Structure 1
Amino acid sequence: MLIYLMPCGVLKTLNGECGMMWKNKNVLVTGGMGLVGGHLVERLVELEANVVVTKIINDPHSYFNRKTLGDKVIVADCDLKNEQQVKDVITKCEIEIIFHLGAQALVPVAYHNPRETIETNIMGTVNILETARNYPGVKAIVFASSDKAYGISDKLPYYETHELKGQHPYDVSKSAADLICTAYFKTYDVPVVTTRFGNIYGPGDLNFNRIVPGAIKSGLNGEPLEIRSDGKMIRDYVYVKDVVSGYLTLAENIEKTKGEAFNVSSGVTLNVLDMVNHVSEVMDNEIKVNILNNAKNEIPEQYLDYSKISNLLNWSPKYKLADALKETIDWYKEVI
């Protein structure tokens, strides 16, 4: 789908009629060149939305680039920490729906650079919300929070009613941004819905410090996998295509979902070593591990209950772990 920006700022498409609810909707995806963003942008293009993506450092091997999505969307130079740039993109492109995925999302990076993490994750969110507060064209915002926003809890799984009590830089940045979204809805009626996910994996994740891409790379290259933790940390793993489905479902039902938070999960809860074993089985290749046990600011055990979105919107994950891992591994075989 070829998209161009009219002088008046209105997005137009050059493709035929589609008849779907996303057709010709002006949609902004912050973080659209990342793992989840790339898959979300791909799906929105398929649905014939007019997509604007905020530009970040762009890896030529990313899912976004390998799918040549840059030829099908508008890529806007926009620093989310710059309020005027955010305002310009939203107003000039007459954005109607925002998926706010743009963030510094790596816990180790947050440990070494807390200020950048806090400024990006909190003020980037504030700038989106503040523009939407003053621009009536925005009809829906889906904010990507995280299970890290809950912090450490002795009561699991996490429900949306759990207190948000992050303790470390990344966790706190998500807790704060999450609460700020609630404040903008309750105070200004900004139509924002918050999503809280676990560990997302799938084709396109080039952060090899993460367990799934790291394990696949080690298996393909015959190298030991370095595990930062003790290997016993329990996480909730969810496939990227199920995440995209969750985002779209929440946006499509914004009148029911605005002002609320929703856990989106696969129900797959594994410790790190178990996930490595699953990757190894699907690859039919032994993966040797080297336990470093030097992880900092990590929560020992996290997993989510997703009954709220299931009961309200009839959403559920579609991908089984083995099938999702096979799709993921096949993608890395072409890249590594």
Structure 2
Amino acid sequence: MPPSTMQDSYTSTPRKMKIDRSNYFGRVASRWHTTASARLLACSAVLLILTLFVMYRISSISGGIVEGGIIGRSVAAFKPTHEWELKVRQSCVPKRLEEDVMVVLVTGAAGFVGTHVSLSLKKRGDGVVGLDNFNDYYETSLKRARLDLLEKHGVFVVEGDINDETLLMSLFEVGQITHVMHLAAQAGVRYAVQNPRSYVHSNIAGLVNLFEVCKAANPQPAIVWASSSSVYGLNNKVPFSESDRTDQPASLYAATKKAGEGIAHTYNHIYGLSITGLRFFTVYGPWGRPDMAYFSFTQDILRGKAINIYTGSGGKDLARDFTYIDDIVKGCMRALDTAEKSTGSGGKKTGPAQLRVFNLGNTSPVTVPILVDILEKHLKQKAIRNIVKMPRNGDVPFTHANTSSAQSQLNYHPTTNLDTGLRKFVKWYLSYYGVGTDHRLWLGDREQIV
């Protein structure tokens, strides 16, 4: 289903109503002064409003809230150097001469999916430049290791924030970007309870800033961006189809991704940006995210630490449509390859532009206990299992993708089952961290995400 249609009229001005303010406030005051508790409630409300206003002003003056969630830290003014421009140009030079060659800006390039997509683009000869702010949501050492891998293959990754308009404009000017693969986001369902502002900063403000720069570029790039299967929220109809309702988000993360789809519709409608949204279903594999259940389970099983296996209503096992990273990358590449050109010029729309959204899943949900069974087999070690009722933190009991649209329009056909995918992941994990090493992953108080 295309993102929800937003209001087309932006020129109408609401009528101003004349209010007898003295009489109005007098009536309101008489009600509030009836009891002492009412007066206390009024004072509390005023204090709350003042507090929110002050927080807003601090955030605005300082440049906002960064992905790590620190209020008062501003995005430093970017000034390109000659050396920086040279690295961007070199990274953006295509190695193939075909007519359909691309120059792709990959945001979140040092992230899990971003690293794999960047390597795939570079391998086939497209120009690629990455952008990542290396926030500390999970261990930054893993992101730096991914960065080393990208640099070895000739991909230059700029360290910066997607809210930095000057930086983005410089990348477009120097790199001659034709396509954007927007994967930068604040990930995670449960972390939103601890740091909600980071999701607004990255997933909404960052997306708007990117679209603003893209709409002003000439020519405008085609955009593919990562939405999420989380947008289906409390929808009980399975498998999830793009035409299903997505107006019941179960988490703030899901709400920001749903908002992103609405924002994408607006920029497509007004400015002619060609935009494709991809709803990923539980991506896993080598170089993955340590906050994901399969990753943290592996760590804890090897260390002999008990793992929590959540159950849903009535003790039902949670199930996920686990999708191997290579299959996701193929879907991303096909989305880029089939993306039509944007139709705007200088920020003005000249005709209708392509707007799409696709599910990218494996279409075969597996329960979490079976996931643990498979990990035990490949790790050759039994897990200590704690069966725990799922807390009310935004998780949903199951996900299941209907990928018929992606199959027909993107020729998307996932080929890796969970057993094969986890075997490849375990092999990478043991190699990266070392067998028998007392490795420690920095997760803080954050729980794993199923």
Alignment TM-score, normalising by the size of structure 1: 0.89
Alignment check: 8 A CA contact 1:236 1:303 kept? yes
C-alpha distance in structure 1 between counterparts of 2:310 and 2:199, whole Å: 21
Query: Does structure 1 residue 131 correspond to structure 2 residue 216?
Result: no
- The partner residue of 1:216 within 275, 295, 298 is 298
Please, which moves more after superposition, 281-290 or 126-135?
Answer: 281-290
Alignment check: 8 A CA contact 1:10 1:94 kept? no
C-alpha distance in structure 2 between counterparts of 1:70 and 1:224, whole Å: 38
SS in 1 for 2:181: strand
Q: Give 1:151's aligned residue.
A: 233
Query: What stretches of structure 1 of length at least 5 have no aligned partner?
Result: none
With over 3 angstroms needed to count, the CA separation of the structure-2 counterparts of 1:18 and 1:198, relative to structure 1, is: same
Alignment check: 8 A CA contact 2:182 2:223 kept? yes
Alignment check: 8 A CA contact 2:233 2:254 kept? yes
- CA deviations over 1:198-253 (Å, ceiling 9, x no partner): 1110111242x311112222233332223466582222110111111100001100
With over 3 angstroms needed to count, the CA separation of the structure-2 counterparts of 1:136 and 1:163, relative to structure 1, is: farther
With over 3 angstroms needed to count, the CA separation of the structure-2 counterparts of 1:90 and 1:292, relative to structure 1, is: farther
C-alpha distance in structure 1 between counterparts of 2:376 and 2:384, whole Å: 9
Q: Give 1:61's aligned residue.
A: 142
Alignment check: 8 A CA contact 1:118 1:169 kept? no
With over 3 angstroms needed to count, the CA separation of the structure-2 counterparts of 1:112 and 1:6, relative to structure 1, is: closer
Q: Is the radius of gyration larger for structure 1 or structure 2? A: 2
Deviation at 1:187, TM superposition (A): 2.4
Alignment check: 8 A CA contact 2:165 2:209 kept? yes
Query: Does structure 1 residue 247 correspond to structure 2 residue 344?
Result: no
Instruction: Map residues 1-336 of structure 1 onto 2, 5 A cutoff.
Output: 11-12=89-90, 18-19=96-97, 23=101, 25-57=102-134, 59-62=140-143, 64-65=146-147, 67-69=149-151, 72-165=154-247, 166-207=249-290, 209-227=291-309, 232-255=317-340, 258-293=354-389, 295=391, 296-336=393-433
Deviation at 1:19, TM superposition (A): 4.2
Alignment check: 8 A CA contact 1:211 1:276 kept? no
Please, which moves more after superposition, 146-155 or 293-302?
Answer: 293-302
C-alpha distance in structure 2 between counterparts of 1:43 and 1:14, whole Å: 14
Deviation at 1:96, TM superposition (A): 1.0
SS in 1 for 2:389: coil
Deviation at 1:10, TM superposition (A): 7.4
Q: Which amino acid aligns with 1:190?
A: L
Please, which moves more after superposition, 87-96 or 111-120?
Answer: 87-96
Deviation at 1:108, TM superposition (A): 1.7
Deviation at 1:17, TM superposition (A): 5.2
Percentage of matched positions with identical amino acids: 25
Flag the structure with higher strand content: 1
C-alpha distance in structure 2 between counterparts of 1:291 and 1:28, whole Å: 43
Q: Which amino acid aligns with 1:57?
A: F
Alignment check: 8 A CA contact 1:237 1:266 kept? yes
Q: Which amino acid aligns with 1:168?
A: S
- CA deviations over 1:30-54 (Å, ceiling 9, x no partner): 1110111111111112122222111
Q: Which amino acid aligns with 1:277?
A: D
Deviation at 1:97, TM superposition (A): 0.9
Deviation at 1:106, TM superposition (A): 1.1
Alignment check: 8 A CA contact 1:22 1:48 kept? no
Please, which moves more after superposition, 185-194 or 221-230?
Answer: 221-230
C-alpha distance in structure 2 between counterparts of 1:61 and 1:92, whole Å: 29
Deviation at 1:124, TM superposition (A): 1.0
With over 3 angstroms needed to count, the CA separation of the structure-2 counterparts of 1:252 and 1:284, relative to structure 1, is: same
C-alpha distance in structure 1 between counterparts of 2:285 and 2:409, whole Å: 27
C-alpha distance in structure 2 between counterparts of 1:98 and 1:16, whole Å: 15
With over 3 angstroms needed to count, the CA separation of the structure-2 counterparts of 1:73 and 1:13, relative to structure 1, is: closer
C-alpha distance in structure 2 between counterparts of 1:65 and 1:311, whole Å: 34
Alignment check: 8 A CA contact 2:115 2:150 kept? no
C-alpha distance in structure 1 between counterparts of 2:310 and 2:165, whole Å: 37
With over 3 angstroms needed to count, the CA separation of the structure-2 counterparts of 1:104 and 1:273, relative to structure 1, is: same
Q: Which amino acid aligns with 2:199?
A: T
Alignment check: 8 A CA contact 1:22 1:44 kept? no
Deviation at 1:116, TM superposition (A): 1.3
C-alpha distance in structure 1 between counterparts of 2:94 and 2:156, whole Å: 19
Alignment check: 8 A CA contact 1:236 1:268 kept? yes
Alignment TM-score, normalising by the size of structure 2: 0.67
C-alpha distance in structure 1 between counterparts of 2:186 and 2:285, whole Å: 19
Alignment check: 8 A CA contact 1:269 1:303 kept? yes
C-alpha distance in structure 2 between counterparts of 1:129 and 1:109, whole Å: 26
With over 3 angstroms needed to count, the CA separation of the structure-2 counterparts of 1:291 and 1:259, relative to structure 1, is: same
C-alpha distance in structure 2 between counterparts of 1:65 and 1:290, whole Å: 36
SS in 2 for 1:152: coil
Alignment check: 8 A CA contact 1:76 1:89 kept? no
C-alpha distance in structure 1 between counterparts of 2:193 and 2:311, whole Å: 15
